[in-house]
């Protein structure tokens, strides 16, 4: 298994500076909208990184958030830059969630977590643990890069080599655009949609649904509002191709 590179201080700092406008517009905003519709008030943010989403969950949903990550550096950044009285940032080891009571969470999210795991067995174990921590009828949301568009260049990142066919669980290189001449190179893994669906079902989840959000799902007026809000106009293939997959499942 490749060591979690986000434990490296330089990589963690660069990742914190990455302009995640695509993730926000075509990912996090939809996650938050789903959680709002579920009326979730206790939420697990599994693999919270620098706390960007955890903070939004607390501020926008008035939720109590368990924000966990195995990178001490990421937790340090989150506590320093995104503190909130309703967010409990915690470093975990060996995917251990014993500190959370079983059947206690309204919802759980895992954003860009499973693509960074080389072991399907580990992914299944994480899903099993999350299932145990959710209340009956609790919801689990997964946000990851879209394996069907591996190799496609988007405006802020490219995951994998264009034209290359990736095999099940194969290592990929992802390039994030940090600045005009600066990039962050990450290593992740190619998991097709069947991996998510099979392991969610085996873990006990039901009503598994998947979305493929793209920019052109919005009206022209909505896109203008997005551009105004995020001060971003350099759209690329995300107009017609979905950079991410968004799963929702029910316990």
At 181 the three-state DSSP class reads coil
Q: How many CB atoms lie within 10 A of CB 31?
A: 23
CATH architecture assigned to 5-146+191-250: 3-Layer(aba) Sandwich (3.40)
What does the radius of gyration of the chain's CA atoms come to, in whole angstroms?
17
In contact, 31 and 111? CB cutoff 8 Å: yes
pLDDT average, residue stretch 171-193: 87
CA distances from residue 74 to 9, 84, 177 in whole angstroms, order as listed: 8, 16, 19
Q: Nearest to residue 123, comparing CAs of 146, 138, 140, 105?
A: 140
Query: Residue 1 pLDDT more than 60?
Result: no
Element (H, E) at 95: none
Tell me the pLDDT tens digit for each residue of 16-30: 667 789 999 999 999
pTM over 0.75: yes
Query: Residue 4 pLDDT more than 60?
Result: no
In contact, 88 and 65? CB cutoff 8 Å: yes
Query: Residue 244 pLDDT more than 90?
Result: yes
């Amino acid at each position: 298994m490749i060591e979690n590179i986000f434990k490296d201080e330089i990589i963690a700092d660069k990742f914190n500076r990455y302009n995640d406008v695509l993730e926000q517009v075509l990912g996090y905003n939809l996650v938050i909208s789903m959680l709002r519709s579920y009326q979730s008030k206790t939420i697990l943010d599994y693999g919270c990184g620098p706390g960007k989403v955890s903070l939004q969950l607390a501020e926008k949903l008035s939720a109590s958030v368990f924000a966990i990550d195995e990178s001490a550096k990421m937790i340090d950044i989150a506590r320093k830059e995104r503190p909130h009285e309703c967010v409990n940032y915690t470093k975990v080891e060996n995917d251990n969630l014993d500190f959370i009571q079983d059947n206690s969470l309204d919802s759980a999210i895992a954003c860009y977590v499973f693509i960074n795991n080389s072991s399907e067995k580990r992914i299944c174990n994480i899903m099993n643990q999350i299932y145990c921590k959710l209340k009956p009828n609790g919801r689990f949301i997964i946000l990851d890069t879209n394996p069907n568009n591996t190799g496609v260049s988007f405006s802020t990142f490219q995951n994998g080599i264009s034209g290359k066919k990736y095999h099940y669980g194969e290592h990929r290189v992802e390039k994030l655009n940090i600045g005009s001449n600066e990039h962050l190179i990450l290593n992740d893994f190619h998991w097709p949609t069947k991996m998510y669906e099979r392991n969610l079902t085996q873990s006990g989840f039901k009503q598994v649904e998947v979305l493929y959000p793209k920019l052109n799902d919005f009206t022209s007026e909505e896109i203008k509002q997005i551009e105004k809000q995020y001060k971003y106009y350099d759209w690329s293939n995300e107009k017609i191709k979905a950079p991410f997959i968004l799963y929702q499942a029910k316990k």
